[in-house]
Copies of this chain bind each other. A is one copy, B any other.
Amino acid sequence: MQFTINRNAFIKKLNDVSRAIAAKTTIPILSGLRMELTQAGLTLTGSNSDISIESFLSANDEKNALLVTEPGAIVVPAHIFSEITKRLPDETMTIQVNNETLLTTITSGQSEFNINGSDANTYPHLPDITAENQLTLNANVLKELISQVVIAVSNQETRPILTGVHFIINDGKLMAVATDSHRLAQRKLELGELPKDVEYDVVIPGKSLLELSRMLTDNMNDITMRISDKQVLFILGDTSFYSQLLPGKYPDTTRLIPTSANTTIEFEARTLLAAIERASLMSHAGHNNIVRLVLNPEQQSAVLSSNSPEIGKVEENLAFVSLEGASLDISFNPDYMKDALRSFGQSTITIGFTAALRPFTLEPSEDHEHFIQLITPVRTA
């Protein structure tokens, strides 16, 4: 195997693939980077037990300056190989593998590295996910959806299914839901072109979605999503992102969301976020991480407070857009509120309360259909 390639073009794809390569792994071959060279181009593969990423450098793309001398395949230790390619002196580099010893020679300018490679045939095969029914998603919309729902994913392994996001596709629509049983986030999308009889019900690990979202950039074309029994595949141009699906049935979450409210208040999300951040300074200093919100629609007042006996206390009269319904005295974890508020960006939001001990909802004031956050309050005294 031998090729010469533009170093920057190579490093860009290598960075993508490296996201799937764990520094520590119980399967030694997975600490490696797989390279497969054909006359058409070079394919890089990285994988861990949860996700796999494959990226292609075409011999036809001038930017790659890829010169294929001898096709072949090799696995090299990913970390040191990546460090080497980034520090080489020249614009291009040549990689040459001795097919018998698997010794891999990397040359660039006056610098020559020799590292020990491994047999590419010992590297696990990636699944073949056929394209019978594929979804097309806008990269920015997918990135937004992920950021809105992953905040509610559980990081406790006691109920593994809750570490994933529930994707339900039917009737030309996609619904994504996550809950850690203290809070819930739900986002809906219309899928224009999809036939109405296509139905999927899968749970994608939250960590996989977070890693995927880091690869989604503004200048990206639409993303293709393919689902099989055990895997989901996202295709981002020349790069394929595979994730395992979580086995098991996700709990029914539809009944958790209240359909009416006794007290509603509207805020600029950013204003409320700043106040919650201030109040949480005090709640974090104390033993229980709780802030208290007292709403008085008659007096049109909303007072946020927190109290840490050892350190001190904070109280703030909140600025709001509107306040209606019954008066209320409620306490909650400010960190859940911060995560939820950040997911709304600059918008005006409506918070709907049923009672002091019942979950409350946050929705964009402009759109009560597609996005909702739910937070369970904390019982005090």
Name A residues whose Cβ lies closer than 8 Å to a Cβ of B: 77, 80, 83-84, 87-89, 103-104, 110-116, 274-275, 277-278, 281-282, 285, 310-319
Chain B's closest residue to A278 (CB) is B87
**Which B residues are in CB contact (< 8 Å) with A103?**
312
Residue of B84, B285, B314 touching A278 (CB-CB under 8 A) = B84
Query: Would you call B315 and A112 a contact (CB within 8 A)?
Result: yes
Query: Would you call B116 and A312 a contact (CB within 8 A)?
Result: yes
**Which B residues are in CB contact (< 8 Å) with A104?**
312
**Which B residues are in CB contact (< 8 Å) with A314?**
84, 111-114
Given that A84-B278, A311-B77 are known contacts, is A111 also in contact with B285, CB under 8 Å in the complex? no
Residue of B89, B313, B318 touching A113 (CB-CB under 8 A) = B313
Query: Would you call B318 and A88 a contact (CB within 8 A)?
Result: no
**Which B residues are in CB contact (< 8 Å) with A80?**
281-282, 285, 311-312
Minimum CB–CB distance from A100 to chain B (whole Å) comes to 16
Closest 5 CB pairs of A and B: A115-B312, A110-B317, A111-B316, A113-B314, A114-B312
- Name 21 interchain pairs, CB-CB below 8 A, sorted by A: A77-B311, A80-B281, A80-B285, A80-B311, A80-B312, A83-B281, A84-B281, A89-B274, A103-B312, A110-B317, A110-B318, A110-B319, A111-B278, A111-B314, A111-B316, A113-B312, A113-B314, A114-B314, A115-B312, A116-B310, A116-B311
Minimum CB–CB distance from A114 to chain B (whole Å) comes to 5
Chain B's closest residue to A117 (CB) is B312
Query: Would you call B87 and A313 a contact (CB within 8 A)?
Result: no
Q: What is the copy number of this chain in the assembly?
A: 2
Minimum CB–CB distance from A31 to chain B (whole Å) comes to 12
Chain B's closest residue to A279 (CB) is B111
**Which B residues are in CB contact (< 8 Å) with A282?**
80, 113
Minimum CB–CB distance from A176 to chain B (whole Å) comes to 32
**Which B residues are in CB contact (< 8 Å) with A88?**
278
**Which B residues are in CB contact (< 8 Å) with A275?**
89, 111
Query: Would you call B87 and A274 a contact (CB within 8 A)?
Result: yes
What is the CA–CA distance of A104 and B311 in the complex, to the nearest angstrom? 11
Query: Would you call A316 and B110 a contact (CB within 8 A)?
Result: yes
What is the CA–CA distance of A275 and B318 in the complex, to the nearest angstrom? 59
Minimum CB–CB distance from A224 to chain B (whole Å) comes to 37
Minimum CB–CB distance from A107 to chain B (whole Å) comes to 10
**Which B residues are in CB contact (< 8 Å) with A115?**
311-312
Minimum CB–CB distance from A341 to chain B (whole Å) comes to 15
Chain B's closest residue to A316 (CB) is B111
Residue of B84, B277, B313 touching A114 (CB-CB under 8 A) = B313
Minimum CB–CB distance from A327 to chain B (whole Å) comes to 20
Minimum CB–CB distance from A265 to chain B (whole Å) comes to 16
Given contacts A80-B281, A84-B314, A87-B277, 20 further A-B contacts (CB under 8 A): A80-B282, A80-B285, A80-B312, A84-B281, A87-B274, A87-B278, A89-B275, A89-B278, A110-B317, A110-B318, A111-B314, A112-B314, A113-B278, A113-B282, A114-B313, A115-B311, A115-B312, A116-B310, A116-B311, A116-B312
Minimum CB–CB distance from A78 to chain B (whole Å) comes to 12
**Which B residues are in CB contact (< 8 Å) with A285?**
80
**Which B residues are in CB contact (< 8 Å) with A89?**
274-275, 278
Minimum CB–CB distance from A90 to chain B (whole Å) comes to 11
What is the CA–CA distance of A313 and B313 in the complex, to the nearest angstrom? 61
Minimum CB–CB distance from A81 to chain B (whole Å) comes to 10
**Which B residues are in CB contact (< 8 Å) with A113?**
278, 282, 312-314
**Which B residues are in CB contact (< 8 Å) with A281?**
80, 83-84, 87
